[in-house]
Structure 1
């Protein structure tokens, strides 16, 4: 049974699709503050009522939501996100819709990550801007979830037989495309058993939804092939970690706000200020874009991970890269933030990035000249001369820097900001009391 890509506009479109394709269940998707997917299923007979009234659930059981004495939450399905799950059998297909979380009185719930991103997008829209994002999510394929047994010894752009994940990537792409997700290309990444599938850029909210879908599809298709996919930032010592480089642009009245034909870098004043905003506030929002203890095992010099706050056009050691302009490709002018990792909450990550860029535009931040030299090989004196600073070196440092950020607090809102900080400090406390294999191997024979 061939399933089409749906472009539902309202509840009636969804109910017709459910009937026409004999859909057995509809999964309602939303996420906690860390970006962990939450889901429950309803039957088609409950669908109409859910569009009118939503579906109630206990919010106190969701990380970062609410206390038990205010636990009633309502999930309101977004009909425009209706698609049939490509990894499920098609005889009685299962569909999914993303939900917005609201209070019992119908007001938006401030702890909802999707609502957080919507607020920032609305602020941009008030100025006439549409935000587009094109994230590149890398992942590893291992034998199972219990360890890091690799499936191949392939490297960057290697082909079979060195690349043994080609068939898995192919099936992932087919599954994504059948859910309406446009794919540009895929390839083996630098590390053994590491892969990347690049999606075509899309509007911010749609892309955040797409990232959530991408992560599910990658894991499900890997499972069907008898292996395990992980978006853990740094699973293997000594090898490159997995990033989520996020390409960003703003459009206004169909024109790329970042492009200026007369500038030597083909960047407009607004484009430069946007990038300056990203650079200035990146240390403050690193706890959002890189929210795990393991994230900072990736963000170290020498593994293609950008830790230095600078920008460039061709230099991949810089935090921000502006791909070289190609004549006739004005619409493709964009900036690429290279520090985020694929284990971030995409809604909150996009929100803080956009807020930082808009802040730079609003206040006319000035952008320094690009740094095209390899920053990884600069000594401290050269770094200081070029006014190059670094991102936080640990989750603890990132959380402490975020706590002082008025921008991040305003962007996330008091509720998410406080819950996220508390969660990160608790995670750091759990991590710092662990006794690792490294310590046993290093110190036990000496002491």
Structure 2
């Protein structure tokens, strides 16, 4: 694709967005019916503000879903210590709920506007951010063009580039260079991610490590933790966390295979809790007794599966076990889930082979003995059985995992250093200007 063709393709994309704008309401209604949109705040997706813009400097941070949102919490807190207002946008209802629980009034939360020119233009005209900071990997062409038109610096933090995405962008390199060259700074998770962003036209690019390694400890309700620990008693536990379709069935197969050998409780925490009715029905068909967190069910000696179907309570579920399988990795080639959360809390970590989104973290954890990769359900069952019955091996994995995560810390400091040219002038301005609601 030539440069001229790339520009034409981008213009066409933006033009189609303008044409599609009147139909966007139907798209949002469909997502609302599936529980993926907040009906009361639908206007924010069209760029209409749901809060007043404060006076003074404002940094816009976008974190699409829960994982990205959790990775930027510590960064948001550091920026707030500089007295810079932060507008935090997310793309999902669950990430919005976690933002409210973890950051509250520290930030102004809005839903990300649809990548359509009228919505993005309205959003930027109202909020007038001084810097736009996007977490990880989302690319929204219209938003990038509109930010550049307003001379707003665009920064990518904790940036990653999966094998699949990199391959797609390389097939359309002129388009990639047209978009990625609009970025003012890329702070990449790993050397591989950094090289890929450079190859696609981004500059400058620095490598910080993964912000998830510096994430704050997952919170937990101590009273609930104590209550469930008492109910579980001396039973062995293992957890399948952040699971995707099919992985809950795999966890049930593992439980059934081991039930005759171990008096274990299996904890299943689906990545999307709205699937929990379907998951429970599947488990009941297999004659497994299920307790659901959302119903407040007690865990009895007869309970086979504790279904963690709530949002924002991963800290509870991980503290009920010391062996965790991280999902989105066994039966789906979509890149894995964050292993640093369970490792840092004190869990031996198991994962399927599809971990490209966290390749660097898994390489270090596996090399140091804090995580193991399993190729299929049969090997997962063998690994769970071995670690549940071998305390020494499990404790060694836990120690190795916690030490590895500790060694991986430092990404937050590196990211803040990289952001200094964009942030320091705003911090000075914030100190000089009193802030009050402007609109």
Structure 2 length as normaliser, TM-score?
A: 0.32
Considering fraction of residues, name the structure with more strand: 1
